[in-house]
Structure 1
Amino acid sequence: MENQTKNLTRRKLLKSSLKVTGGIAVAVSGGLVYRAVEEDMFSPFDGPAYQPWKSWKTDPLSFPLVTVQMAILAANPHNTQPWLFKVHQDSIEIFADRRRHLGSFDPFRREMQIGLGCAIENMTLAAKAHGYDSQVEVIQGALAEHPITEGIDKIATVSFTQGIAENTSLYQAIAHRHTDRNPYDVTKSIPDDMIQAFATECQAHACRLDIFEHGKARQSIDLLMNKATQAIVQDEEMVMDSTRWLRTTDKAIQTHRDGPTLDGAGLSPMIRVLAKIFPDPTPLEGHRIWATATKESHLATAAAIGLISIRHRYSKAENLTVGRLWQRLHLMATVAGLSMHPMNQPVEWVDRQKQLGQANSAEQHLSLLAGGAAWQTTFAFRMGYPTVPAVPSPRKPVKESLI
């Protein structure tokens, strides 16, 4: 009884502190969450769910399995990890796991395709570090308007030939690249040579890059980002499809080893502790807080917003290329001490309006910002200098990613 009284008193005290701080805002790409969890979750990044970030170095696999060991650390939408690999002696086939989809958040599996491209880029960097050149053969065609939700879908084959080992800075950055949802340093802008390096990389991948730092163009992209976020929050199906991936207890993290978590949500230390003590909000409440964080934290502190555009938004091959490009850009930023954070709400809104057969106002806004009708935006992000270190997300082990 005495322990119960102490716990009750502590809860009242923390609840009072919560009111002072203005609420627990947990900002994740695609959703928000509050949480009261078990005490063992107060030690973040522990347990098997986080071992893949270390095991590539402490327990490296033989070639070509080592390329999969690095592939599973790639960026991917909402940490769904939608990949499967079939390993041969001198090649690896990459498949999309159709079950690991975002539903109405990604109705054409465009973001899934981008995430698979990120994994492929890590594979080629790992192969080069181990003395092998890579040739990537991708499956052509258009993304399906009514994708199948079960089984697997072959995406590409990566073949390896003996080459010269090159342990690049991008390869070394793979285990240090993390999405940073924290506020960024508002006193620092992006160096011109970094923006030029990004632009050169995009040109090499036959993609268009638009960077918005200030002025009317920046105001326009911020306005579109906020409108898209509000539209998502008002869409009950999108809210529920986002919520099902959130992992807010240590048990859920260690069981699923995927999805966004509280520790990676960009919270201050005190708010993160409070978030782990109190229960989750409703999905709608959580997403409303995410919308507020988008406006008041993510956009307000971003040094720049970027848009990556391609010729055909629903091309399998072009989105795979964008994934490879985004992985390289994020690794380049990591090497340079910059933070990156995908903010794909405007393109997710385009997809959703297309799926529902609505007048595509989001498409019209993006077209004005990114090259007109000749280009179609497929990826949006923010960047800036970090205020605190970005943290890892849970990952499934290699063995669960193999066919």
Structure 2
Amino acid sequence: MLTRRALITATPLLVAGCSAGESPYDRAARDLWRLPDLGGGVPMLALVHAATLAANGHNTQPWRFRIQPRVIEILPDFSRRTPVVDPDDHHLFVSLGCALETLLRAGLGYGWAGEPELLPSGGVRIAFSSAPARPDALFQAIPHRASTRTEYDGRPVSAATLRGLEAAVGPEVALRWVLDPDDRAHLTDMIVDGNSAQLADPAFMRELTDWIRFDSREALAQRDGLFTAASGNLTAPRWLGERLLPMVMTEQGEAERIARWMKSSAGAAIFTGPSETPAGWIAVGRAFTRFALKATAAGLKLAFLNQPVEDIWMRRRMAAWMGAPARRPDLVVRFGYGPELPRSLRRPTQAVLVP
């Protein structure tokens, strides 16, 4: 067993980015998080690249892409599902919606308008036609959007910015603001309770650990999962990280961290889709992506705190609190002004293409 002395001794070895200059991980992230200037043509590979930058659960990247002349299909990749935290593939299809909306926004920026069509398989087929290029603020925000899992600075967001975010969501998906101190305290309690239930579930912890990338070498080799440095945490080789995790990810410690995160945020938003179906979940992913890109363009940071919507009993409690017991709240997102953190990676475009 690792003792406190051993932990203290190991800590200097855990700090990321100690060497001078740009690390291989930093270089990979810099090369990834950009939109290429193509100078003409039908940018199918560029659109797929943009779509892979979309938000997705546990950074599992549960999607495949098929390219045809002026057509792209986005297909669910069930081999990358997370059956413990996402037993009905809700997050998987929300992630698919995030990729779809990012792809459509990238298309408009490059001068190609996409018309999406849901497929019986659960995927989406997008047919493109030429259109005037619209490299607007949402297009420009694609390579800057991130899930920033750290404390923010507590500054409020203006009413005009909130109105713009609400307009970006659109009418199909319901948006519930959580700005009032009492509501924020109540939501914080539900997030903490949901998180505590997950930490007490050995299957959840095994699945989470499988998707954690404990150091930059592992993150660079896999190019998926939850890189610890991207959450502002220390890094370590997997053999050590797995042993340290139960010491640092405790129920009390996580409750205190969630409380700090929520207190430092300007507020939170809860997204509720039109139906409890893959089509409804894709709609949630699309609406959230517009919200996230609009927020990013306004200089805001965002992060998910989805614990209370991932447990059925906690989800019912949240729905009742929201006054809509028959509806399913889909996403909980906090937002505010905060720092930049290291970016997560994505698999290469060629790795997500299918014939």
Is TM > 0.5 for Structure 1 vs Structure 2? yes
Amino acid at match of 1:81: Q
CA RMSD of aligned residues (A): 3.0
Shift in alpha-carbon separation, 1:48–1:338, aligned structure 2, 3 A: closer
Deviation at 1:402, TM superposition (A): 0.3
Match of 1:130 among 110, 128, 139: 110
* Corresponding residue number in structure 1 for 2:184: 218
Name the SS for the 2:53 alignment partner: coil
Query: How many Å separate the matches in 2 of 1:338 and 1:53?
Result: 18
Residue 119 of structure 2 corresponds to: 139
Which residue of structure 1 aligns with residue 240 of structure 2?
279
**Which one of 91, 116, 121 corresponds to residue 71 of structure 2?**
91
**TM-fit CA distance, 1:55:** 6.6
User: 1:312: Cα distance to partner?
Assistant: 2.6
Name 1:373's counterpart in structure 2. Answer: 325
Asked if the contact 1:309/1:376 (under 8 Å) is kept, the reply is: yes
Question: Aligned to 1:379, what secondary structure does the other structure show?
Answer: strand
Q: Does 1:245 align with 2:245?
A: no
TM-score (ref. length: structure 1): 0.78
**Could you tell me which of 119, 131, 139 is aligned with 1:171?**
139
- Measured after TM superposition, the shift of residue 49 of structure 1 is 5.9
Structure 2 CA distance for aligned equivalents of residues 44 and 339 of structure 1: 25
Amino acid at match of 1:346: P
Question: Residues 123 and 311 from structure 1, CA distance in 2 versus in 1: closer, same or farther, beyond 3 angstroms?
Answer: closer
The alignment partner of 1:103 has SS state of coil
Alignment map for 1:73-112 (pairs within 5 Å): 73-112=53-92
1:262-301 to 2 correspondences below 5 Å? 262-267=228-233, 272=234, 275-276=235-236, 279-280=240-241, 281-288=243-250, 291-292=254-255, 294-301=257-264
Aligned: 1:51 with 2:21: no
1:168-207 matched pairs, under 5 angstroms: 168-186=136-154, 188-202=155-169, 204-207=170-173
- What's the offset of the Cα at 1:214? 2.5
3-state DSSP of counterpart to 2:293: helix
Report how far residue 62 of structure 1 moved: 4.9
User: What SS does the corresponding residue of 1:279 show, helix, strand or coil?
Assistant: helix
Match of 1:305? 268
SS at match of 2:141: helix
Secondary structure of the 2:249 match is: helix
State the 1:378 CA deviation: 0.6
> Structure 2, unaligned stretches of length 5 or more?
none
CA distance in 1, matches of 2:172, 2:317: 22
Q: How far, CA to CA, are the matches of 2:298 and 2:202 in structure 1?
A: 39
Q: Say which structure, 1 or 2, has more relative contact order (CA 8 Å, 6+ apart).
A: 1
1:217 touches 1:369 (CA, 8 Å); kept in 2?
no
Distance 1:80 1:159, change over 3 A: same
Stretch of structure 1 that moved more, 328-337 or 367-376: 367-376
Measure, in 1, the Cα distance between the counterparts of 2:219 and 2:51.
20
- Could you list the per-position Cα deviations for residues 271-330 of structure 1 after superposition, in whole angstroms to 9, with x for gaps in the alignment? x4xx448931355444326624543432231221211012433x1111101111111111
Q: For the residues of structure 2 that align with 1:222 and 1:15, how far apart are their CA atoms?
A: 31
Does residue 315 of structure 2 align to residue 363 of structure 1? yes
Residues 279, 297 of structure 1: CA spacing in aligned structure 2 closer, same or farther, 3 A cutoff?
A: farther
Q: Which residue of 2 aligns with 1:7?
A: none
Instruction: Report the CA distance between 1:260 and its aligned residue.
Output: 1.2
Instruction: Compute the displacement of 1:57 (Å).
Output: 4.8
Contact 2:25/2:216, CA 8 A, preserved across alignment: no
Is this contact kept in 2: 1:305–1:381, CA < 8 A? yes
> How many matched pairs?
347
Deviates more, 1:210-219 or 1:275-284: 275-284
Note closer, same or farther for the CA distance 1:219–1:46 as it changes in structure 2 (3 Å cut): closer
Asked whether the 8 Å contact 1:225–1:346 carries over to 2, the reply is: yes
Q: Which moved more, 1:88-97 or 1:58-67?
A: 58-67
1:160 corresponding residue in structure 2 = 128
> Which residue identity does 2:297 align to in structure 1?
V
Aligned-partner SS, 2:271: strand
1:36 offset after TM fit, Å?
Answer: 7.5
TM-score (norm 2): 0.88
8 Å Cα contact 1:239/1:284 also seen in 2: no
Q: Is the 8 A contact 1:233 1:284 kept in 2?
A: no
- Taking the aligned partners of 2:156 and 2:324, their CA distance within structure 1 comes to 27
**The residue matched to 2:150 in structure 1 has which SS?**
coil
Q: Which of 321, 328, 333 is matched with 2:283 structurally?
A: 321
